[in-house]
């Protein structure tokens, strides 16, 4: 799998998204949405991470699935390095596996739908990739069943019950966090259709 010099900007963009997301995940969103305290559910990293799907889709649209995978693997390597440096082994495993598998799913689905209406490939691939990413990351990182991945350290599971999204019936905390994160992923994914459309209509993307 050779790296095309034309994909260098996309690799840099993917790395920028990964670095920004790993930095911004430290900062909760200090705001309320009605009765919901967003600081209990979201960090600012939730708003930057979904941009990785935009970078992958734009690469796929312009250079094909092979180069899109190169961009994904570049982001994956950086994500693993940052996770090992900044987080626990369990979080690193969750983050790396979720990123890689979700992005590769995005590449595959986008490639299958590239000939359809302009919005179908980026939207459907992003939604399905986001579902897989959310399940893998929050499940592996925080579900009690994966507690053995803490390797003898303090159990990082978040299986204790809290009100769903801070207002509903009692559910495990990791599920409430996962749903909140997924909602943001979809919101950002839909918003990213606008820059995607601008790109595919530009002469350089023809």
**Tokens linked to 112:** 């299958």
Tell me the fold of 5-205: Arp2/3 complex 21 kDa subunit ARPC3 (1.10.1760)
Residue 28 pairs in a beta bridge with 43
- CA-CA distances (angstroms) from residue 202 to 62, 135, 181, 199? 11, 35, 32, 5
If you average pLDDT over residues 150-172, what whole number do you get?
87
| Summary count for the chain: helices (H), strands (E) | 8, 4
Place of tokens 């509903």: 168
| Rg of the chain on CA atoms, in Å | 17
| 193-201 vs 120-142: helix crossing angle, rounded to 10 | 140
If you average pLDDT over residues 11-24, what whole number do you get?
94
102-141 confidence digits (pLDDT tens): 999 999 999 999 999 999 999 999 999 999 999 999 999 9
Place of tokens 């967003």: 38
pTM of the model: 0.91
Reply yes or no on whether the pLDDT at 4 is more than 80.
no
Q: How far from each other are the two terminal CA atoms of the chain, in whole angstroms?
A: 24
């Amino acid at each position: 799998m050779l790296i095309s010099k034309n994909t260098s900007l996309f690799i840099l963009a993917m790395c920028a998204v990964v670095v920004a997301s790993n930095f911004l995940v430290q900062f909760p969103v200090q705001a309320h949405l009605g009765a919901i305290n967003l600081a209990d559910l979201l960090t600012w990293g939730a708003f930057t991470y979904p941009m990785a799907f935009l970078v992958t889709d734009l690469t796929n649209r312009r250079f094909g699935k092979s180069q899109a995978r190169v961009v994904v693997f570049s982001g994956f390597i950086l994500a693993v390095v940052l996770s090992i440096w900044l987080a626990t082994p369990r979080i690193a495993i969750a983050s790396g596996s979720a990123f890689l598998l979700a992005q590769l799913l995005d590449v595959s689905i986008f490639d299958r739908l590239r000939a359809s209406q302009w919005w179908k490939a980026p939207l459907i691939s992003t939604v399905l990739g986001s579902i897989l990413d959310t399940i893998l990351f929050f499940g592996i990182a925080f579900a009690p069943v994966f507690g053995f991945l803490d390797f003898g350290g303090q159990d990082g599971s978040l299986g204790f019950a809290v009100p769903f999204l801070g207002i509903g019936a009692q559910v495990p905390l990791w599920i409430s966090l996962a749903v909140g994160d997924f909602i943001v992923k979809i919101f950002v994914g839909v918003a990213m259709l606008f820059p995607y459309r601008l790109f595919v209509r530009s002469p350089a993307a023809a």
